[in-house]
Amino acid sequence: MFFLPNGTTLDVQGAGAYHTAVSVGAGGTLVPYAVVPLPSDPLDQIAAEHEVMEGVADPSGYLGYAQVQGSASDLWAPIVNNSSTEIGDMCEMYTTSESDLSGYVLQPIWSNQAAALFQDPCVPGSAISGGALFGAVPASSAIATLSGYLGSLQGVVVPAGKSVTIPMDLFASSPSVGAITLGAMVKAAYTGSGSYDVSGWSLKVDQQGINGDTVNLSITAPADAGPGLYVVDLTVADNQGQVFFWPLAVATTANYT
């Protein structure tokens, strides 16, 4: 771990800290390292923990975990406002989950084990939700198989110039979650060679609900919407202030480009 002197600003492709690895010696031993600001305040403490944990999971690039660029996991990137989806990136937006541990502030880190148990996948989970997981998924009747350069994935089809109402099934792992509010916005659009403008899309959610309820999400695509893959950021909040973010794949045709 390399700590920068106080007052030093680091900007690596928009990031204030980073981790990578270097090959050392004739045998090419991979030595991971991280460069972060001197942890003089809580945000710097979070940056240090973030890079250490990611360095453990994937010391160099995408070698240590299943989410890889050029696949359906790219849907998460615009949700976490990052070009990668490492275990720290996946949970850095959950500021309500930051916890104080022996005087240090830590951000939660993605856990496959917790996700498999239908618990808050960002651990330690928020004291607000008690570790409960909740969200919204399209009803099976609305799901289509979308095929294109990222491969086949599950999503919904909204033709250009049309409006589609999608029933969304709410779920929660604990009855303590209570009322769930769903919000949505288009965050990004991809093609095999670039990106589309996402302005002109309209999204509306007409009601709240609880675990097991179905609410309606209306999506209107502009007439000039291209045939790429659009990423909708589903923001799901309970009445205690906990928030989860989930990506929803949308395309104007089942075969996106």
**Sheet of 18-24, strand order:** 2-4, 29-37, 18-24
Higher pLDDT, 37 or 34: 34
Question: Does the pLDDT of residue 14 top 80, yes or no?
Answer: no
Which range marks the domain in which residue 69 is found? Answer: 2-123
Q: What are phi and psi of 19, to 5 degrees?
A: -135, 150
Q: Is residue 257 part of a domain?
A: no
Per-residue pLDDT of 147-175, as tens digits, reads: 988 788 899 999 999 999 999 999 998 88
Separation of alpha carbons 87 and 84, rounded Å: 10
- Please, are residues 122 and 91 in contact by the beta-carbon 8 Å criterion? yes
Q: Tell whether 109 and 144 lie within a shared domain.
A: no
Is 79 a member of any domain?
yes
Is 129 domain-assigned? no
Q: What is the SS3 assignment for 31? A: strand
* 3-11 mean pLDDT: 78
Q: Are residues 113 and 145 in the same domain?
A: no
Letter for the amino acid at 137? V
Nearest to 149 by CA among 195, 185, 186: 195
The confidence score (pLDDT) of residue 11 equals 72
CA distance 62 to 54: 10
At 37-80, the pLDDT tens digits run 776 666 667 888 888 888 888 887 655 555 544 556 667 777 76
- Write the CA distances from 11 to 186, 207, 228, integer angstroms: 27, 42, 31
Two structure tokens written together for 127: 């004291």
105 and 146: one domain? no
Average pLDDT of every residue of the chain: 82
- The answer to whether position 68 is within a domain reads yes
Structural domain includes residue 243: yes
In angstroms, the CA 229 to CA 73 distance is 13
Backbone angles phi, psi at 68, to 5 degrees: -125, 150
Q: Are residues 109 and 216 in the same domain?
A: no
Of the three residues 123, 158, 181, the one that is the final residue of a domain is 123
pLDDT for position 141: 93
Q: What is the pLDDT of residues 75-132, one digit of tens each?
A: 777 776 665 678 888 887 765 445 556 666 778 888 888 888 888 888 876 655 667 8
Show the DSSP H helices in 23-144 as ranges. 42-57, 112-116
Categorize the per-residue pLDDT at 254 as very low, low, confident or very high, splitting at 50, 70 and 90: very high
pLDDT at 69: 47
For 232, counting Cβ atoms within 10 Å of its Cβ (0-12 exposed, 13-18 middle, 19+ buried), the class is buried
Non-local (6+) Cβ contacts of 12 within 8 A are 18
Task: Identify whether residues 101 and 141 lie together within a single domain.
Answer: no
Helix (H, G, I), strand (E, B) or coil at 135: strand
